[in-house]
């Protein structure tokens, strides 16, 4: 595939995304979308950012992290402090939320150098819990009763962040750095032997993933009027994990599709939280038993439109595809 063709596809999708967001903005302004749909749309946007950011850590780099709600919490609280306590503008809050979460990502990324697979999973889970307990015990941010946040998340900010995060992560994945990360996922020892600085790339992936989780946290905090430590328990981490697993570990479009589908399903099951969790857990189990590679495997949605010619070398049998 030539670079020109690739660039064409890139600009086409940008234009499409802008057209879509303008149309939605007009619909919101015109009042054709009622509050329920607008709310669902906002939730979908936030969940897409979360899914895409976790996809970078788990799907691309193969680091099994189940403490993503911790990064979300760091972003949410950091940004809420900026807007509510310091009265600074929302754009700055987005940046600070993302950066604070990225720093948290660096902190958790460093132990990940020594840990693999399930040990890393447990360490990140522990990290998520520690973050929650820290916020629970800080009175400055309201402790257990939480923090009031005014509604500042608007559609342009939201869709802008969604497009930005997808763009950055797609381009990262297709760059030298992204290929290095994929090689770590496929075989860390081999990657090391090929001269790839695995430590550097693992920490980078954690930091970038955490940055976008922090941005999602900012949008989340300024969409729900109140943030409480209980919103960021490990059930939240599992929610995000399900997007990535259902979509297919290694497929970004899969993660996005799963985030959209599951958000719609859970909005409709809002009044029956137990049923929702039972469906989630059954989906996870059945998925792992019968289609462990997820909805999309490692394919992207764009590859559906291309002929078989574009499949190049490497592992052809998808069932043999391993992550971590």
Return residues touching other proteins (CB under 8 A): 64, 66, 111, 114-115, 117-119, 121-123, 125-127, 129-130, 133-134, 136-137, 189, 234, 238, 241, 245, 249, 274-275, 277-278, 280-285, 288-289, 292, 322-324
Least Å distance, CB 189 to other proteins, is 5
Cβ proximity to other proteins, 191 vs 219, nearer residue? 191
Least Å distance, CB 110 to other proteins, is 8
Q: Tell me if 324 sits within 8 A of 63, measured CB to CB.
A: yes
Least Å distance, CB 268 to other proteins, is 17
Torsion angle of C-alpha atoms 191, 195, 200, 206, degrees rounded to 10 = -20
3-state secondary structure at position 197: coil
294: left (phi over 0), alpha (psi -120 to 50) or beta: left
Cβ proximity to other proteins, 45 vs 248, nearer residue? 248
Neighbours of 300 (CB within 10 A): 17
Angle of CA points 243, 241, 177, to nearest 5°: 90
For helices 155-173 and 35-54, angle between their N-to-C axes, nearest 10 degrees: 20
Least Å distance, CB 300 to other proteins, is 21
**How does DSSP assign 74-140, residue by residue?**
HHHHHHHIIIIIS---HHHHHHHHHHHHHHHHHHHHTGGGT--HHHHHHHHHHHHHHHHHHHHH-GG
Cβ proximity to other proteins, 41 vs 136, nearer residue? 136
Least Å distance, CB 42 to other proteins, is 26
Q: Which residues of 95-130 are buried (b: 16+ CB within 10 A; e: fewer)?
A: bbbbbbbbebbeebbeebeeeeeeebbebbbbbbbe
Cβ proximity to other proteins, 27 vs 122, nearer residue? 122
- Can you tell me the distance from the alpha carbon of 103 to that of 100, in angstroms, rounded to the nearest whole number? 5
Least Å distance, CB 283 to other proteins, is 8
Least Å distance, CB 76 to other proteins, is 19
Cβ proximity to other proteins, 64 vs 157, nearer residue? 64
**How does DSSP assign 44-55, residue by residue?**
HHHHHHHHHHHI
For helices 90-109 and 155-173, angle between their N-to-C axes, nearest 10 degrees: 30
Cβ proximity to other proteins, 38 vs 134, nearer residue? 134
Cβ proximity to other proteins, 143 vs 160, nearer residue? 143
Cβ proximity to other proteins, 6 vs 319, nearer residue? 319
Least Å distance, CB 154 to other proteins, is 34
């Amino acid at each position: 595939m030539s670079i020109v063709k690739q660039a064409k596809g890139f600009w086409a999708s940008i234009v499409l995304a802008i057209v879509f967001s303008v149309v939605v903005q007009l619909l919101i302004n015109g009042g054709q979308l009622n509050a329920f749909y607008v709310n669902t749309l906002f939730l979908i946007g936030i969940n897409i950012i979360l899914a895409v950011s976790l996809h970078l850590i788990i799907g691309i780099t193969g680091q099994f992290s189940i403490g993503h709600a911790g990064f979300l919490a760091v972003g949410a609280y950091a940004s809420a402090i900026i807007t509510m306590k310091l009265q600074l503008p929302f754009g700055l809050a987005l940046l600070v939320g993302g950066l604070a979460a990225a720093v948290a990502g660096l902190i958790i990324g460093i132990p990940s150098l020594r840990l693999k697979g399930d040990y890393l999973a447990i360490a990140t889970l522990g990290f998520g819990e520690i973050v929650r307990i820290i916020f629970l015990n800080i009175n400055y941010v309201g402790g257990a009763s939480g923090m009031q946040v005014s509604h500042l998340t608007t559609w342009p900010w939201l869709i802008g962040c969604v497009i930005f995060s997808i763009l950055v992560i797609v381009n990262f994945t297709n760059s030298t750095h992204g290929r290095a990360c994929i090689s770590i996922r496929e075989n860390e020892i081999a990657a090391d032997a090929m001269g790839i600085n695995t430590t550097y790339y693992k920490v980078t992936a954690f930091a970038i993933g955490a940055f976008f989780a922090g941005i999602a946290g900012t949008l989340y905090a300024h969409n729900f009027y109140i943030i409480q430590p209980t919103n960021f328990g490990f059930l939240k981490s599992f929610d995000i994990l399900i997007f990535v697993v259902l979509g297919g570990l290694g497929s970004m479009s899969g993660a996005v599709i799963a985030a959209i589908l599951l958000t719609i399903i859970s909005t409709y099951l809002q009044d029956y939280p137990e049923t929702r969790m039972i469906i989630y857990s059954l989906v996870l189990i059945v998925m792992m038993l019968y289609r462990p590679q997820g909805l999309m495997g490692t394919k992207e949605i764009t590859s559906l439109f291309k002929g078989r010619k574009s499949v190049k070398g490497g592992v052809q049998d998808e069932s043999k595809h391993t992550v971590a």
